[in-house]
Amino acid sequence: MAASTRAGQLGSMTRRFLFRNATGAYNFTAVKPEINRRLNNDYRQISQLQAPSNGKRAFLVDTLAMVRSLEKEGIPSKQAEAITSAITGVLNDTLENVSYSFVSKGEMQKTELIQDGNISKFKTEVQSSQDHHFALLQRETEKLQGDIEKLQRELKYEIDKVTAGQRLDLNLEKGRIREELNNQKTETSNLTNKLDREIHALRAQLEAAKYEVIKYCIGSLVSISAVGLAVIRILL
């Protein structure tokens, strides 16, 4: 209905403006009529173009005023009717094409409803996808946190294990070193005692050798004295 109203307004504007030149007078060249029939008086009184036989929509056009205007300009009635018929036919085709480019309010509302439905569906799908991805991300995050905690526990266990092993090795090494020190101390004590015994033995031997030397010296002196006395007696 809105397209028909616009088409009627466009036809009225075309009737007022298309057929005047710059001076305001009608200016047409004679053309041969495309249809060989006269519009009867009833058709002129109705002042509209009936719907053509091909089923196109009919648009109201003041054909009577158009024919009379042409006749006033000196154009014969037959040619005026033919010109009017041709122009209205072209106008009908033009307005029909123009009407196809318009959309009715109901169709627009239907399209808007469809678009709103599609947008709502799209929003729902996007929201569902976001929720799904968020849930997946949350599960992955929880899984990663669990893996990290597991790795931390395993790492702590390994560190404690290594630390305990090192502590045990260190204690064993300390014990071994202490034992070696004790053994060395014992050996040192034994060597010291042995040296002391040997020193005492040497001292005893020296004392014995000294006594023997003194004894031999005394014996030698006595012998020499005896020999000397014997010699003196012989000489005297």
pLDDT digits over 149-166, tens only?
999 999 999 898 888 888
- State residue 103's pLDDT score: 62
Among 93, 64, 92, 60, residue whose Cα is nearest residue 80: 64
Residue 7 has pLDDT above 90, yes or no: no
The pLDDT confidence band at residue 147, using thresholds 50, 70 and 90, is very high
- State residue 1's pLDDT score: 41
> Rounded to whole angstroms, how far apart are CA atoms 217 and 222?
9
Q: pTM surpassing 0.75? A: no
- State residue 61's pLDDT score: 63
The pLDDT confidence band at residue 35, using thresholds 50, 70 and 90, is very low
pLDDT digits over 167-225, tens only?
888 888 888 898 999 999 898 989 999 888 889 888 888 888 888 888 888 888 888 88
Among 61, 80, 84, 63, residue whose Cα is nearest residue 72: 80
Average model confidence (pLDDT) across the chain: 73
Contacts of 200 (CB under 8 A, 6+ apart): none
pLDDT digits over 52-88, tens only?
444 444 545 677 887 888 888 888 888 888 888 888 8
The token duo for 176 is: 């071994």
